[in-house]
Amino acid sequence: MGGSGKTAPSIAAGSLLSGRYRLGAELSHGGMGTVYRATDEHTGATVAVKVPLPHLAGDAGYRERLRREAQLAAALTSPRVVRVVDLAEHDDVPFMVMEFVSGETLDARLRRTGPLPVADAVRIMREVARALQSAHVLGIVHRDLKPQNVMLVDGQVKVLDFGIARAEGMAGITVAGAFVGTPAYSAPERATGGGDIRADIYSAGVW
Q: Distance between CA atoms of 123 and 58, rounded to whole angstroms?
A: 42
The H or E element containing residue 183 is: none
Of these ranges, 115-119, 134-138, 166-170, 183-187, the one predicted with the greatest mean pLDDT is: 115-119
pLDDT of residue 42: 97
* Mean pLDDT, all residues of the chain: 82
86 is catalytic: no
Q: What is the pLDDT of residues 3-35, one digit of tens each?
A: 444 444 568 889 999 999 999 999 887 767 889
Q: For the stretch 35-45, what's the b/e string if a residue is b when 16 or more beta carbons lie within 10 angstroms of its beta carbon? A: bbbbbbeeeee
Where do the H-state alpha helices sit in 13-86? 60-75
* Ordered structural domains, the chain, with CATH: 16-99 (3.30.200.20), 104-205 (1.10.510.10)
**Which is catalytic among the residues 59, 144, 161, 200?**
144
Q: What is the pLDDT of residues 136-183, one digit of tens each?
A: 988 888 888 899 889 999 889 999 876 555 554 444 444 334 445 577
